[in-house]
Copies of this chain bind each other. A is one copy, B any other.
């Protein structure tokens, strides 16, 4: 191997690692995976009209938690389109193929997608059935409404997308609770879209430990520095709220 090839193979390197290579393997440290009896399963529900980041944010953290396997599930295995119609995600398994998961994650969608999912008996029944065997049942954004439609949130402290908070409360009897994500028993509901990343780090600490979760925060270089400070409805105010909903509507398929 030439020096150039060797250098190409070490595209990722810790600043402190010097010449020892990219992984702890090279330092003789055992993989945490070696000690684990079985891999726990995170099932991410995909459905037509979902909001991609709701699913992909948590996926990007959870797929690297030691001893965890992440799978994607939809009514039928194959591609589903997102709320804007311009991105496709692939579900590897159908609902019927998946009867158990340690963690269930239900992402949200825009009006069309979430309304259809809430009305789809097969999907809602599957969520209710899987929930019985989960260690954690989680949602991001309007995914909480699907948990609600499955009857899982009556009297339960929860949150959802900012613009769907009152809907969640009045329609499904959830106890609206402030927070980037809300944990209540084994149910964790996150706020809108990007809140799933924060929830996933919290969940990673529970599935593994705090150090692993902290390392995963670095793995996705999650040191947020948004150029504005308008990420909550309270900070944004009513005019930006209306504009946000209009932009969502305009881009909806």
Contacts and interface: CB of A to CB of B under 8 A. Distances in A.
A191 B24 contact: no
Contacts of A212: 243, 247
Interface stretch (A96-104, A125-133, A150-158, A234-242): A234-242
Total copies of the chain: 2
Contacts of A211: 240, 243
B218 A162 contact: yes
A230 B244 contact: no
Which size class do A's interface residues fall under? 35 or more
Interface of A: 7-17, 22-25, 27, 29, 31, 33, 51-53, 56-57, 59-60, 63-66, 69-72, 79, 84, 86-90, 92, 110-111, 114-115, 118, 141-142, 145, 161-167, 170-171, 180, 191-195, 197-198, 201-202, 205, 210-228, 230-233, 235-236, 238, 240-251
29 contacts: A7-B167, A7-B171, A12-B163, A12-B248, A15-B162, A16-B242, A53-B56, A53-B60, A56-B56, A56-B57, A57-B57, A59-B86, A79-B90, A90-B90, A161-B221, A162-B218, A180-B223, A194-B223, A201-B227, A202-B227, A212-B243, A213-B228, A215-B230, A215-B247, A217-B228, A217-B231, A217-B236, A218-B230, A218-B241
